Structure 1
Amino acid sequence: MISVLLVDDDQELTGMLSQYLEREGFEATAVHTGEEGEVEALSGRYSIVVLDVMLPQRSGIEVLRRIRAVSQVPVVLLTARGDNIDRITGLELGADDYVPKPSSPGELVARLRAIMRRVQSAGQPTTEMIKTGALVLWPGKRQALWHGVELGVTSTEFSLLEELARSAGQVVSKKDLSLNALGCPLTRYDRRIDVHISSIRQKLGPRPDAKAWIQSVRGLGYLLIAE
C-alpha cells in the first residue's frame, strides 16, 4: 500500500483528503506543522509527501529545502492557485509536482499515482541501459550517471531525462514529454517541464562551447545533444 504523508495546517482539509485517499487504496497520515512534516518525511515511513507551501512558522518551501538536502522522497506541493513564484521555487528545489489549492481530490490522486508509477518502475528487474556520450541511465534503478558520477536527479527529472536520452539528437515535443514523463496532458501556461529542464541543465553543467546540453527548440520542444 502506498503511504502518503499530508503536511498542512488545515485540519479539515487533511481530514477530507485522508478519507478520500484511503477510499482510493492509499494509507494516509496527516501532520500540521512544518517541523512535524520535516521529521515525518525523513522517517522513511512514507512513499510520498504532500506538502502545503503556506505553513505557519516553517514554510513548506523551507521544509522542502531541508528534505531535499538529505532525501529524494517524492514531494508534491500544494500551492495557492495562480502563485507561480512558489511553484517555480518549489520545482527548482526538487519538488516532483504541484497541485493548486483549491483543487479536486481526484486531481491530487491522479498526480500521486503518476509519480508512484515512475518510482515503482525502479523495482522492476531490468538490465536496460541508455547511454549517450557521458550520460548513462539505468531506468530499472532510476539511476543516472554523468561522467561516471551520480547525477542526483529527482524521480521527475529522471523521467524527463530518460525521454530525452532515448531520442538524443532529436527534438522531443513538450506534449510528449508531459504525457510520457509526467503522466499528464500538457496544459496552456504550464511551466513544470521548463523548470525541471532548467534544473537538469544546471546539474549537467555547460558544454565545452558554453552552450547547454539540453537545447530549447522554439515552438517544438527540447533536444538533448548527442556526443
Structure 2
Amino acid sequence: MNKPLITILDDEPAIRAMLSEALQDAGFDTKAYARAAEFEAALRRTTPDVCLVDLGLPDRDGLSLVHRLALEQGATVIIISGRAQVQDKITGLELGADDYIIKPFDPAEVVARVRARLRTRNAPATPHQTARFNGWTAHFDRYSLEDESGAETPFSHAEGEVLRLFLDSPNRLITREFMQNSLGGAAGESFDRAMDVRISRLRTKLREDPKNPRLIKTIYGAGYIFLTDVSWS
C-alpha cells in the first residue's frame, strides 16, 4: 500500500528537516520545497495527499498559492506560519485552507493535524455526489454550486466538508461538538473560528442575507440548522 504523500513548502531548512523527519517517522512519504516555483512544478507531476504551506515565501505570496490549491485543485491545505494575528488566520481559512498552525509548533501537533485531515478526506465516500436544495445544486465531484440559471460558483474542499455535513442532516440541529467529531481538528477557539469562517463563506456563496440567513440558521449556544429539504443523486 502506498504511503500518503505530504508536501512541505517552507523556506526555512530547519523547519523542512524537522517536519520531514516527524512525518516519515509517523509513516508518511514527504517531499519538501523551499520555493513556490519548484513546488508548483512538482504538482504537475504528482498529487500530494496534504500540502503544508508557509505564507512567508521568497518568490510568491503564500496566500495566493493556498487559494489556488484549495479552489482550483481541491487540495487539502494546512498553513504553517509565524503570522499569529487573528486576521491572518481568518484570511487563510477564507481562502480555502483546511487548518492553520502557528509557528513555533511541536512537530507532533502537525502530525496529529495531518492525520485528522486524512481521516476526514479518506472517510468512506457516499455514492451521492449531487445534492439539490432550494434552487441550488451542489456538485461534489467538481466542488461547485450551481444556481437556477446554471451559473456556477466553486467552493473549497474545506467549505465542501461543512456543506455536506449540512446537506446530510437537513432540518436537524448540528452541534459544534458533532462538527468537531465529524470533521476532525483540535477543539477550541481555533476550530470554532475555522467553522465560523467556512459557514460565513458558504452563506455568501448561497447569497444569504447575513443579518437574516434563510438556509443556515445559527442556534446560539447550540449549533446550526440547515433549513431546507435536500434530494441526492
How would you bin the TM-score normalised by the shorter chain? 0.7 to 0.9
State TM-score, norm by structure 2.
0.80
**Alignment of structure 1 residues 108-147 onto 2, 5 Å:** 108-121=110-123, 124=125, 126=127, 132-134=133-135, 146-147=146-147
Secondary structure of 2:179 counterpart: helix
- Name the counterpart of 2:164: 162
Query: How far, CA to CA, are the matches of 1:65 and 1:130 in structure 2?
Result: 25
| Letter of the structure 2 residue corresponding to residue 113 of structure 1 | R
Q: Does the alignment pair 1:186 with 2:184?
A: no
* Counterpart position of 1:195: 197
- Say yes or no: does 1:86 pair with 2:104: no
Give 1:5 deviation, angstroms: 0.9
**Partners of 1:138 and 1:120 in 2: how far apart?**
18
Answer whether contact 2:82 2:103 (CA < 8 A) is retained. yes
Return structure 1 stretches of 4+ with deviation > 6 angstroms.
none
TM-score (normalised: structure 1): 0.82
What displacement does 1:213 show?
2.4
Q: Aligned equivalents of 2:224 and 2:45: distance in 1?
A: 37
Query: Where does residue 176 of structure 2 map in the other structure?
Result: 174
Which ranges in structure 2 are unaligned for 5 or more consecutive residues?
none
Answer with 90-99 or 35-44: which moved more. Answer: 35-44
**1:204 and 1:43 mapped to 2: Cα distance?**
35
- The equivalent residue for 1:38 is 40
Question: 1:65 aligns to what SS in structure 2?
Answer: helix
- 1:11 positional shift: 0.6
Note the C-alpha offset of 1:90: 1.1
Structure 1 vs Structure 2 CA RMSD: 2.9
In structure 1, runs of 5+ residues without a counterpart are none
The residue type paired with residue 19 of structure 1 is E
Aligned length: 223
**Cα distance, 1:68 vs structure 2:** 4.1
